[in-house]
């Protein structure tokens, strides 16, 4: 089996906190329309696809950037090509990341027709002042409209992404955001603590002292709140930052966390095939040039040692509800972790370690203990 | 010109003592001693103009950078007197001037018949100069008062001539006025050295007796021992003997410094020079010891020999534990050149393996640390310096404590600490400020005198521990740098002293234990617990930090349990990045120190001990990584 990630490196505008590999069309080509850029780009992606293994495909995920910026027929070309070449499993999950502002009823129907069956909206917050700090363009009311349209179009699985811990966001702000998200009657929520990446506009504002990051205690309370509210609404945590109704977990992301094989198409995209990780050149222009010149777009790669593979699986498994198999741990690690059992950070469920909500908040620390 | 070509000058081992004048220069840092010495080398033409460089005699980088003299030098200067036209040999013995090296200074003085008291006539005499002046007077040296830097626009030669005259009991007009910088008055000074300082007197036929006033390790030649011959003669190829140890060596080479080493046929009565025996360790050639002839030894040693006595102790630890063997090698090597340095291995729960080192004083400590870091490339962290305590238990057992963590438990009868007699010279406007500082630091006033109309000498007894803490920095900052300090040992005195431990989750952290006066225990405890609370990362449980005297808690802080330590996002491209971060953290975890169940990065301990200067150094090192 081989999952596919398809990177769409375009946004209408870059958000202040974002350090993803994305560009506005005008950054790339003077005067070119989005249609031209898009068509050209998809041609390159299809070239790259030719070098991927031909295993059957259980999931495809279009991320970005803003995939919903590109017309359905362009994205559809990729799905069609993968289907023709590798074959899709019967229940293949195909996700589109979408900006609530850039969708219309017609567009959503077209995506569904192109093969998408799951959609994830970047909601981030229901509070205008929080969205303003994040430098997001959308009107909070658009989210409900977009979700309703997606449901009307026939999407079976709808998710929203939320961000907490934005400068100026109170616990009450966050509570109303989560309340609003749950009121959309969706089946999946991802909630991430804001990470201030160096080089972003947000980092500069914080450095200047214009904005102040909330302290870790507030962040922790926000996490506990969303976890509690989701669970109460019947969305269970299945990964540290992800909650879903039973059967609506994102299979694509689970593939990452279970160290399955997956191929990332597009500039800067990472792949993992067997014990090897590799990643493409970062800039879309360089990426296209390489492929059209018949060269590999791979920038670099690493062959994972047995120890690295083990470290990765510990680091990923500990984040999941299915937990970390005790068999992966050394005696020293088990001894290290023992103290965290009594302090209420973890529980032993069957032959695996499962983190409590308090434990998930210090998961990185627990990983360090588990790697001993 | 009064200079005499070296080849035509009286030769070593063939110079009549009546033609010899041995002198040293007593001066404070920055008062122009090295510049004057340079000028003397130039005027007597022992150094050609084209070979001249500033601070010619200060050979160590540290000496040149700091403008201080650590090691003595002795230069043979031929000179034809402008007064009587006769040929003379002047031996200039350059000495350290710092309080840490008082013993070394006293031995240099003992090698001379006279001293030039050099005072910057824009600043006046400083406390350490005054102390060395008294030392010279006790040694019955002829003092020639000299005011330097008369070329400076703010020079006040009349004022300071009066000050010097009062101190040494001469007339103000007896003070010579020179400028080391321009050379003004330097030839006259050399003539006065000839005229005023007595020639050495000794018995040429008696068994050899020579005073060691310094010894220096040279990696090519082994130990170079500087001596002043009192009686008899030291000849090359003869067997010599060190009086204190009885050890016999062959004098492989004997010579004079002019100012490069120049082998000679020997050294006669009153002469100053060097000898080389091939030994590799300066402790075999102790300052103050008497060199004699093995076949025909003297029965009486020269007076005044003392073993070096460390006054200040501190733990030195490599920042990187893997550098411990390098540190040991560096200390071993440094000890070859520093007989006063003592050390023994020490292990600290907080800092790992290092050495407990004993020093003559704070400057000595700083110099040793700097030389270790510089010469071996190791980054070091040192624990707060402390003095030597004598602890008497009620059961009559006595402990000598050089490390606070070794302070004995049990019922204590009394604790004694070293006391010094300190002399502070300062403008009179600071009398109040200085008295206030001395009172805060448990001082007892001994007396005060005006040395000129607006400058005073204030005398206090003070616990050495207070000086070692930050007395000098405080004195300088509270008097805008105008006050100077000197001190000498007065013995031990009982003090109301307690040991304060710093406990992390109930376990004492050795590196932070301190012996302090009971009145200051609380403020030390509050300061240290507060510092550690800032520096130690949050753990999965709450960690109390306490300061305690015995079992009594005097201050308390706590580090709240950690709430959040996780990166929320972990998708495809994040995985490599995150794993690499973890690999790095795994290495970091190896550098963590465990205090009970508390995990502390070594950096936290280091930062808690570090001075501001240390922190700058650590930052600079990080930038290079």
* Cβ B178 vs Cβ B189: under 8 Å: yes
pLDDT digits (tens, 9 = 90+) for B253-282: 999 998 888 999 999 999 999 999 988 888
pLDDT digits (tens, 9 = 90+) for B110-133: 999 999 999 999 988 888 888 889
Give pLDDT, residue B138: 86
Res B589 pLDDT > 80: no
Cα–Cα distance between A340 and B413 in angstroms, integer? Answer: 46
Confidence of residue B604 (pLDDT cuts 50, 70, 90): confident
Rg (CA), chain A: 21
Give pLDDT, residue B199: 97
Give pLDDT, residue A193: 94
Res A271 pLDDT > 90: yes
Res B612 pLDDT > 90: no
A185 touching B, CB under 8 A? no
- The SS3 assignment for A63 reads strand
- Which residue of B541, B572, B582 is in closest CB contact with A270? B572
**Both tokens of residue B540?**
């999965």
Res B59 pLDDT > 70: no
Res B217 pLDDT > 90: no
User: Which whole number is the average pLDDT over B147-157?
Assistant: 92
Helix (H) or strand (E) holding B207: none
Res B335 pLDDT > 70: yes
Residues of B in contact with A237 (CB under 8 A): none
Confidence of residue B619 (pLDDT cuts 50, 70, 90): low
Q: Do A315 and B582 touch (CB under 8 A)?
A: yes
Residues of A in contact with B541 (CB under 8 A): 343
- Which residue of A262, A316, A361 is in closest CB contact with B564? A361
Helix (H) or strand (E) holding B588: helix B574-590
The sign of the dihedral angle between the CA atoms of B55, B60, B62, B68 is negative
Peptide bond preceding A65 in cis form (omega within 30 of 0): yes
Q: Do B563 and A220 touch (CB under 8 A)?
A: yes
A340 touching B, CB under 8 A? yes
Calculate how close chain A gets to B426, using CA atoms only, in Å. Answer: 46
Closest CA to B133 of B114, B159, B160: B114
- Which residue of A192, A343, A361 is in closest CB contact with B569? A192
Residue with tokens 């220096």: B216
What is the value of pTM for the model shown? 0.70
In this structure, of A325-334, B46-55, B232-241, the range with the lowest mean pLDDT score is B46-55
Residues of A in contact with B571 (CB under 8 A): 253, 256
Across chain B, mean pLDDT equals 89
Give pLDDT, residue B624: 46
Give pLDDT, residue A154: 94
pLDDT digits (tens, 9 = 90+) for A52-80: 999 999 999 999 889 998 999 999 999 99
Give pLDDT, residue B424: 94
Residues of B in contact with A216 (CB under 8 A): 562-564
A372 touching B, CB under 8 A? yes
Give pLDDT, residue B615: 58
pLDDT digits (tens, 9 = 90+) for B286-295: 889 999 999 9
In this structure, of A31-35, B4-8, B127-131, B526-530, the range with the lowest mean pLDDT score is A31-35
Which residues are paired to B398 by β-bridges?
B392
Q: Do B564 and A279 touch (CB under 8 A)?
A: no
Give pLDDT, residue B70: 58
Give pLDDT, residue B625: 43
Give pLDDT, residue A280: 96
Res A86 pLDDT > 90: yes
Residues of B in contact with A262 (CB under 8 A): 572
Give pLDDT, residue B567: 83
Please enumerate residues of B whose Cβ is less than 8 A from a Cβ of A: 540-541, 562-573, 575-576, 578-579, 582-583, 585-586, 589, 597
Q: Do B575 and A270 touch (CB under 8 A)?
A: yes
**Both tokens of residue A332?**
């020293």
Give pLDDT, residue A118: 97
Nearest residue in B to A304, CA atom: B576
Nearest residue in B to A263, CA atom: B572
Write the burial class of residue B555 (CB in 10 Å: 0-12 exposed, 13-18 middle, 19+ buried).
buried
A252 touching B, CB under 8 A? no
Nearest residue in B to A302, CA atom: B576
Res B150 pLDDT > 60: yes
- Which residue of B572, B586, B597 is in closest CB contact with A371? B586
The interface pTM score, or ipTM, of the predicted complex is: 0.87
Expressed in percent and rounded to 5, the helix, strand and coil fractions of chain B are 30, 30, 35
| pLDDT higher at A29 or B421 | B421
* Cβ A188 vs Cβ A236: under 8 Å: no
* Cβ B190 vs Cβ B176: under 8 Å: no
- Which residue of B566, B569, B570 is in closest CB contact with A361? B566
Cα–Cα distance between A43 and B321 in angstroms, integer? Answer: 56
Closest CA to B134 of B475, B459, B360: B459
- Which residue of B563, B582, B586 is in closest CB contact with A216? B563
Closest CA to B314 of B339, B352, B343, B350: B343
Calculate how close chain A gets to B348, using CA atoms only, in Å. Answer: 24
| pLDDT higher at B624 or A223 | A223
Calculate how close chain A gets to B613, using CA atoms only, in Å. Answer: 26
User: Which whole number is the average pLDDT over A347-356?
Assistant: 95
Calculate how close chain B gets to A281, using CA atoms only, in Å. Answer: 13
Nearest residue in A to B588, CA atom: A368
Res B511 pLDDT > 70: yes
Q: Do A362 and B563 touch (CB under 8 A)?
A: yes
**Both tokens of residue B149?**
């830097």
Rounded to whole angstroms, what are the CA distances from B503 to B386, B587, B594? 20, 27, 13
Half-sphere exposure at residue B538, Cβ-oriented, CA atoms within 13 angstroms = 13
Alpha helices per DSSP H over B352-486: 362-376, 431-440, 464-466, 472-478
Residues of B in contact with A256 (CB under 8 A): 570-572, 575
- The SS3 assignment for B25 reads strand
Res B46 pLDDT > 60: yes
**% pLDDT > 70, chain B:** 95
Give pLDDT, residue A27: 67
* Cβ A52 vs Cβ A280: under 8 Å: no
pLDDT digits (tens, 9 = 90+) for A22-34: 787 666 655 667 7
């Amino acid at each position: 089996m081989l999952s596919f990630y398809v990177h769409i490196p375009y946004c209408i505008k870059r958000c202040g906190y974002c350090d993803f590999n994305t560009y506005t069309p005008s950054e790339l080509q003077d005067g070119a329309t989005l249609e031209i850029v898009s068509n050209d780009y998809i041609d390159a992606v299809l070239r790259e696809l030719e070098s991927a293994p031909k295993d059957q495909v259980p999931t495809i995920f279009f991320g970005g950037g803003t995939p919903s910026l590109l017309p359905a027929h362009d994205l559809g070309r990729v799905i069609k090509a993968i289907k023709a070449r590798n074959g899709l499993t019967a229940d293949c999950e195909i996700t589109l990341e979408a900006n609530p502002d850039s969708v219309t009823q017609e567009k959503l129907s077209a995506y569904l027709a192109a093969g998408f069956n799951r959609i994830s909206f970047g909601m981030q917050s229901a509070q205008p002042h929080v969205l303003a700090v994040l430098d997001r363009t959308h009107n909070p009311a658009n989210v409900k409209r977009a979700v309703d349209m997606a449901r009307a179009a026939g999407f079976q699985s709808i998710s929203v992404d939320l961000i907490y811990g934005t400068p100026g966001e109170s616990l009450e702000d966050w509570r109303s955001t989560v309340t609003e998200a749950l009121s959309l009657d969706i089946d999946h929520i991802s909630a991430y603590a804001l990470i201030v990446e160096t080089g972003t506009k947000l980092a500069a504002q914080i450095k200047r002292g214009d904005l102040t990051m909330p302290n870790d205690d507030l962040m922790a309370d926000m996490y506990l709140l969303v976890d509690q509210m989701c669970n109460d609404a019947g969305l269970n945590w299945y990964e540290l930052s992800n909650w879903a109704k039973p059967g609506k977990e994102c299979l694509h992301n689970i593939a990452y966390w279970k160290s399955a094989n997956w191929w990332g198409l597009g500039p800067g995209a990472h792949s993992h095939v067997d014990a090897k990780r590799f990643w493409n050149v970062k800039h879309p222009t360089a990426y296209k040039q390489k492929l059209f010149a018949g060269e590999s777009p791979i920038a670099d790669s690493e062959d994972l040692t047995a120890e690295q593979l083990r470290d990765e699986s510990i680091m990923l498994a500990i984040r999941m509800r299915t937990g970390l198999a005790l068999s992966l741990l050394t005696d020293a690690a088990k001894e290290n972790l023992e103290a965290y059992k009594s302090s209420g950070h973890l529980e032993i469920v069957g032959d695996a370690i499962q983190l409590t909500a308090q434990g998930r908040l210090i998961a990185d620390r627990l990983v360090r203990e588990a790697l001993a | 010109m009064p200079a005499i070509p070296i080849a035509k000058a009286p030769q070593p081992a063939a110079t009549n003592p009546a033609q010899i004048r041995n002198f040293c220069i007593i001066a404070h840092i920055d008062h122009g001693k090295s510049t004057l010495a340079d000028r003397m080398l130039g005027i007597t033409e022992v150094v050609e103009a084209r070979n001249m460089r500033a601070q010619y005699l200060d050979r160590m980088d540290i000496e040149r950078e700091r403008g201080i003299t650590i090691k003595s030098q002795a230069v043979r200067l031929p000179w034809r007197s402008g007064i009587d036209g006769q040929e003379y040999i002047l031996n200039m013995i350059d000495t350290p001037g710092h309080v840490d090296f008082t013993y070394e200074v006293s031995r240099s003085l003992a090698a001379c018949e006279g001293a030039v008291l050099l005072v910057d006539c824009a600043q006046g005499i400083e406390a350490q100069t005054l102390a060395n002046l008294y030392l010279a007077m006790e040694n019955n040296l002829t003092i020639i008062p000299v005011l330097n830097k008369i070329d400076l626009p703010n020079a006040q030669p009349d004022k300071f001539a009066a000050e010097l005259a009062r101190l040494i009991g001469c007339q103000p007009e007896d003070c010579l006025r020179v400028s080391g910088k321009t050379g003004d008055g330097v030839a006259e000074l050399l003539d006065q050295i000839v005229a005023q300082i007595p020639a050495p007197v000794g018995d040429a036929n008696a068994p050899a007796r020579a005073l060691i006033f310094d010894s220096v390790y040279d990696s090519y030649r082994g130990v170079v021992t500087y001596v002043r011959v009192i009686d008899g003669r030291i000849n090359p190829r003869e067997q010599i003997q060190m009086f204190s140890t009885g050890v016999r060596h062959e004098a492989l080479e004997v010579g004079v410094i002019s100012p490069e080493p120049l082998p000679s046929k020997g050294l006669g009565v009153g002469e100053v020079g060097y000898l080389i025996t091939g030994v590799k360790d300066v402790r075999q050639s102790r300052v103050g010891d008497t060199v004699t002839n093995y076949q025909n030894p003297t029965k009486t040693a020269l007076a005044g020999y003392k073993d070096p006595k460390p006054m200040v102790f501190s733990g030195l630890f490599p920042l990187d534990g893997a550098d411990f063997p390098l540190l040991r090698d560096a200390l071993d090597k440094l000890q070859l050149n520093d007989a006063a340095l003592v050390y023994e291995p020490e292990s600290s729960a907080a800092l790992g393996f290092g050495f407990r080192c004993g020093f003559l004083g704070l400057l000595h400590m700083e110099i040793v640390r700097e030389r270790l870091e510089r010469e071996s490339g190791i980054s070091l962290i040192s624990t707060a310096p402390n003095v030597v305590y004598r602890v008497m238990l009620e059961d009559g057992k006595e402990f000598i404590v050089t490390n606070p963590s070794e302070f004995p438990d049990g019922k204590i009868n009394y604790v004694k600490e070293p006391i010094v007699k300190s002399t502070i010279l300062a403008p009179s406007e600071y009398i109040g400020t200085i008295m206030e500082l001395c009172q805060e630091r448990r001082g007892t006033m001994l007396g005060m005198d005006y040395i000129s109309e607006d400058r005073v000498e204030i005398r206090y007894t003070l616990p050495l521990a207070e000086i070692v803490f930050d007395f000098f920095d405080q004195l300088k900052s509270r008097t805008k740098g105008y006050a100077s300090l000197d001190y000498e040992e007065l013995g031990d005195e009982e003090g109301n002293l307690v040991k304060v431990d710093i406990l992390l989750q109930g376990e004492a952290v050795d590196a932070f234990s301190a012996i302090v006066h009971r009145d200051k225990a609380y403020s030390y405890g509050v300061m240290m617990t507060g510092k550690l609370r800032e520096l130690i990362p949050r753990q999965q449980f709450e960690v109390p930090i306490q300061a305690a005297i015995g079992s009594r808690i005097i201050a308390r802080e706590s580090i709240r349990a950690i709430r959040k330590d996780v990166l929320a996002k972990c998708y495809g491209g994040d995985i490599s990045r995150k794993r690499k971060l973890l690999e790095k953290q795994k290495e970091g975890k190896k550098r963590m120190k465990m205090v009970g169940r508390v995990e502390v990065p070594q950096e936290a301990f280091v930062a808690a001990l570090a001075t501001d200067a240390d922190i700058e150094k650590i930052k600079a090192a990080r930038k290079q990584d």
